[in-house]
Every structure is written in C-alpha cells, then in structure tokens.
Amino acid sequence: MCDTCGCNTPDNHSHNEHDKRLLELHEDVMSSNEVYAQQNREYFNKQKIFTVNLLSSPGSGKTTLLEKTIRLLKNSVSVAVIEGDQQTELDADRIRSAGANALQINTGAGCHLDAHQISHAIKEIELDSNSLLMIENVGNLVCPSMFNLGEHFKVVILSVTEGDDKPLKYPHMFHAADIVVFNKTDLLPYVDFDIEKSQSYAKQINPKVITFELSAKTGEGMTDWIDWLKLNLTNK
Ligand SMILES: Nc1nc2c(ncn2[C@@H]2O[C@H](COP(=O)(O)OP(=O)(O)OP(=O)(O)O)[C@@H](O)[C@H]2O)c(=O)[nH]1
Ligand SMILES: [Mg+2]
C-alpha cells in the first residue's frame, strides 16, 4: 500500500498517475450514471410518468411534503414514491400510511441515490402510466446534486430553520435545482430567516429557478405547489 495516499497501488507510483486514475474512475462512474439516467428518462416519457427528485438536508421536511401531497392528489392521480435513506424503512412506511405505493432503497454508507438504483426500483415498484413518481433522495445538500436519475425536475427543499444563506453555501445543489420549496413557513415568526433574501440568493445561483413558500405541516401555501404538479401532469 502507498504510504502517501493509502491507495492499493505500489508505493513507488507517481501521484500524478494516481490522480489521473482517480479522475478516470470518476468519469466512468458519472458516464455510466448518465446512461442509466437516459434509459430511465425514456421509460418515464414513454409511460407518461411525471417524475420529481426531492433533495434537501436531513429533516427539512421531504417526507412530510410527500405525505401531504399524496393526501391531496391520490383521488385524482396515481402516485408512487421511491425512498432513499442510508438505513431503515421508516419513510416508506409513512408514505404507505398516507396512501401511496412506496419502495425503500437503503444506501448503507452511500450519500445519494444513483440512476442504476432507480432503474432497478422502477422494475420492482408497480408504476401506472399517466402517473406521478416522486423520489426522496438521501438527506444532504452535496452529493445528490451530482447524480441525474432521469427525473423531469429536481426539487430542493429548504426549511426556514436551516439559515437563509444555504443557496450561497451549497451552490452546486441550488444550481442543479429546477424548483426550490421554502418549507416550515409556520416557524418564520420564531427564526431569523429572510425568505426574500434567500430567494434572491437562489436566483443569483440559478436565475431560472422557480420558488414556492409553504408549510407542509399546516398546509399553508400548498395550493401553488399542487397546481404546479397538476399542470406538469397534464402536460406529460
Ligand atoms: N413546524 C414544521 N415542522 C415540519 C414541517 N415539515 C416538516 N416538519 C417537521 O420536521 C421534521 C422532519 O420532517 P421529515 O419530513 O421527516 O424530514 P425529511 O426531510 O424527510 O428528513 P430525512 O428523510 O431524515 O432527511 C419532522 O418532525 C416534521 O414534523 C413544517 O412545515 N413545519
Ligand atoms: Mg424523509
């Protein structure tokens, strides 16, 4: 083993060579992910399955937003959820209780879902044509942004307890976002979070981003989010 970097190549290897190998490996992983993502997207388009990928830090309210969305939509559209967590089936159980079909992926040490995992999951879970598929990614604002799953939109959820500076501090995530949902607005009176400032930071990173403000807990502001989903479902 190399004493300098700890890799399994002989200890006299050049570190330029080592860096080059790491770069090649990274490119292989990303290009293989893109192939699966493209296949997933073709499947979603063919079956008219509108697919959103929900990303956020742990606890910002992804599952709560999914539960509320399912309860509001399940009588008019077929909804399924793929849940990504390092461990447990807890979120998938919550989704089933809300009335939707759910499949849990446990990533173990992995910090994100990838398109290959989704390609297996969509074979396992029963998806109807003309339906809505929501994917809850593993909670963190870093790695999930790098992996395209074949989804139509990436939705980043930022809760008002996290600090309004997050778009500037995690620019890759907010650059990848199509939508930013500001959640837990019921807590605004109790925290120092300037929504307008945070929106302007998100638009500074990504001028095309669409934003919603809501409380998944009280339901306030949910109408705009639900209308946006319905509009995209009918356009599929
Ligand atoms: N006050 C308030 N609490 C909320 C809201 N949305 C979610 N919560 C609470 O925030 C906590 C975390 O919510 P979850 O929905 O589990 O968050 P998550 O993003 O799915 O968490 P992970 O899957 O662990 O990343 C729970 O205690 C929720 O009840 C909201 O709009 N307002
Ligand atoms: Mg969750």
In tens, the pLDDT along 72-92 reads 999 999 999 999 999 999 999
Q: Which atom of ligand 1 approaches the CA of 57 most closely?
A: 25
Tokens describing residue 168: 């500037």
Distance CA 131, CA 141 (A): 28
Ligand 1, residues at Cβ distance < 6 Å: 56, 58-64, 91, 139, 183-184, 186-187, 215-217
Ligand nearest to the Cα of 140, by number:
1
- In angstroms, what is the span from residue 144 Cα to ligand 1's centroid? 19
- In angstroms, what is the span from residue 72 Cα to ligand 2's centroid? 18
Rounded mean pLDDT of 97-104? 98
CATH class, 15-235 region: alpha beta
Residue in 57, 60, 64 to alter for ligand 1 test, most ligand atoms within 8 A of Cβ: 64
For the chain, what are the domain ranges?
A: 15-235
Banded model confidence at residue 9, pLDDT cuts 50, 70, 90: low
Banded model confidence at residue 16, pLDDT cuts 50, 70, 90: confident
153-159 and 131-136 strand pairing: unpaired
Residues near 29 by Cβ (< 8 Å), separated by ≥ 6? none
Determine what percent of the chain is predicted with pLDDT higher than 70.
Answer: 94
Determine what percent of the chain is predicted with pLDDT higher than 90.
Answer: 85
Tokens describing residue 57: 């830090």
Task: Count CB atoms within 10 A of the CB of residue 143.
Answer: 17
Ligand nearest to the Cα of 218, by number:
1
Of the ranges 18-22, 23-27, 173-177, the best mean pLDDT one: 173-177
Rounded mean pLDDT of 30-54? 96
Q: Which atom of ligand 1 approaches the CA of 60 most closely?
A: 19
pLDDT greater than 80 at residue 170: yes
Distance CA 216, CA 59 (A): 12
Ligand nearest to the Cα of 57, by number:
1
- In angstroms, what is the span from residue 193 Cα to ligand 1's centroid? 17
Mean pLDDT of the chain: 94
Long-range contacts, stretch 230-234, CB < 8 angstroms, 24+ apart: 230/73, 230/76, 230/77, 232/50, 232/152, 232/153, 233/50, 233/77, 233/130, 233/132
Instruction: Please report which helix (H) or strand (E) contains residue 82, including its range.
Output: strand 79-85
